[in-house]
Amino acid sequence: MNTNNLQQDAGHKHQVYMVSGNDKFLSGLLIALSPFYHARSFNDTEELFDELFTSLPKTLIVDATLSGTSALRFITALRINFSSDQLPIIFTVMSAQESWINEASKISGLKCLERPFQTDQLLRTVTQQVNAHTEAQWDAIEPVQRQALKQTLAFYNSIADKVMNGEIFEFQDVTNSCESLIEAVDNRNYKDILRALREHDDYTYVHSMRAATFLCAFGQAVGFTGDELNTLTTGGLLLDVGKTYIPYNLLNKKEPLDEEEYNIIKKHVEYGASFLNQVDDLPSGVSIIAAQHHEKIDGTGYPHGLECMKFDRLARMAAIVDVFCAMTDRRTYKAAFSPQKTLAQMAAMEGHLDRRLLLKFGEMLLDAPILH
């Protein structure tokens, strides 16, 4: 038996299992995945099979090279016992083995990852499969909140594809995707949205959707309605859209960033703003939120070092929500801060946030149906 069990740290990591007859390949997978997942490797299929009846991982990687059995036969046996909602599978196979790839494409809930692959590709595929598992649970959520999650996620995924293909979206698409979210917040009915997001594994989506939810609630608390509220909410969903251009490894890096890496991350503001500037009919507030949400009132923020009165009120609201969400988000490398502790720390940040608005935000939170 060769079972490696990597210790779980204080952050939140989903379980991913992997099985292969090739030990070198297994240890490569383990090294690539362990910063982000609670990864466990097996080279014995029977051992794995027994384990699955005790605990199901969010995703299982089955390599085509298995000892003692054919990988496709093994996967078929797994499917008899576990549905694709219960156990998403990734099948890693050499790209030359076309007949295997064809066979595998007929099995439900199975994703093929052709070898050799880049680490970034592996991480994206694992994230997608882990999320397929999480999203399948959304069917049990109250309908308006379920709609809000599904519509915004579908929009977010379509944006990632569009960025990759150099295409642009229509403003109406994002407005439509936020309709149920605004309705949910309007009815003070967004507890399940926040709860469901805690299990999702696409950090940029989760952060943006939480930002959109809290910005919408904040907007309502200061009296926004109609188009204004729509601008604020869609602006929240799009505030970090420029992160789509930043490599996965860097966005999810566990260790502190060095200066060069931090400068690359900071570029998401310019990338986001120039992407949004190409969208016809986009309300100026939406691109202002993306362009200015990292400015600080004392002029030490980025990218332009704008002082308080020079940067937009919407962006000052977004800066508050962005900091709040970043601190209360759960990451693979840190636990979430409580809202109370976060607010206290935000109040102590000299020169960063607009104090009057922060006070309003704090009042809104006290009144909110749920924070976590």
Question: Using the rule CB under 5 A, is 240 a contact of Fe ion?
Answer: yes
Minimum CB separation of residue 250 from Fe ion in Å reads 14
At its nearest, how many Å lie between Fe ion and the CB of residue 160? 16
Residue count (the chain): 372
Residue 21 buriedness (CB in 10 A; 0-12 / 13-18 / 19+): middle
Q: What is the closest distance, in whole angstroms, from the C-beta atom of residue 323 to Fe ion in the complex?
A: 8
In b/e form, how buried is each residue of 49-76, taking b as 16+ CB within 10 angstroms? eebbeeeebbbbbbbbbbeeeebbebbe
User: What's the rounded Cα separation, in Å, for the pair 363 and 315?
Assistant: 19
Nearer to Fe ion by C-beta: 129 or 208?
208
Among 199, 322, 329, 354, which residue sits at the site for Fe ion (rule: CB under 5 A)?
322
Q: Which stretch binds Fe ion (CB under 5 A): 26-34, 42-50, 182-190, 314-322?
A: 314-322
Judged by beta carbon, residue 48 or residue 273, the one nearer Fe ion is 273
Distance CA 169, CA 162 (A): 7
Task: Name which of 71 and 215 has its Cβ closer to Fe ion.
Answer: 215
Cβ count within 10 A of residue 180: 20
- Choice between 114 and 270, CB closer to Fe ion: 270
Q: Which stretch binds Fe ion (CB under 5 A): 30-38, 41-49, 117-125, 322-330?
A: 322-330
CB-wise, 240 or 354, nearer to Fe ion? 240
**C-alpha to C-alpha distance for 123 and 10, rounded to whole angstroms:** 21
Amino acid at 322: D
Cα of 76 vs its chain's centroid, Å: 31
CA distance 92 to 217: 44
Stretch that binds Fe ion, among 93-101, 115-123, 217-225, 239-247 (CB under 5 A): 239-247
CB of 131 to Fe ion, least distance (A): 20
The interface mask with Fe ion, positions 130-159, x = CB under 5 A, is ------------------------------
Q: What values do phi and psi take at 60, rounded to 5?
A: -120, 130
63 binds Fe ion (CB under 5 A): no
Q: Which stretch binds Fe ion (CB under 5 A): 172-180, 223-231, 315-323, 334-342?
A: 315-323
Q: How far is the CB of 249 from Fe ion (least distance, A)?
A: 18
State the minimum distance, in angstroms, from the CB of residue 328 to Fe ion. Answer: 12
Q: For Fe ion, which is the closer residue by CB, 63 or 322? A: 322
Tell the smallest beta-carbon distance from residue 266 to Fe ion (Å). 9
Is the Cβ of residue 201 or residue 240 nearer to Fe ion in the bound state? 240
Closer residue to Fe ion (CB): 192 or 240: 240
Residue (38 or 207) nearer to Fe ion, CB: 207
Q: Which stretch binds Fe ion (CB under 5 A): 51-59, 240-248, 278-286, 307-315?
A: 240-248
Smallest gap from Cβ 320 to Fe ion, in A, equals 12
Tell me which stretch binds Fe ion (CB under 5 A): 37-45, 106-114, 316-324, 345-353: 316-324
Asked if 192 interacts with Fe ion (CB under 5 A), we say: no
Number of residues counted as binding Fe ion (CB under 5 A): 2
Q: How far is residue 113's CA from residue 115's CA, in Å, rounded to a whole number?
A: 6
Among residues 199 and 295, whose Cβ is nearest to Fe ion?
295
Sheet holding 4-5, edge to edge: 4-5, 38-42, 15-19, 59-63, 89-94, 110-115
Q: Residues interacting with Fe ion, by CB under 5 A?
A: 240, 322
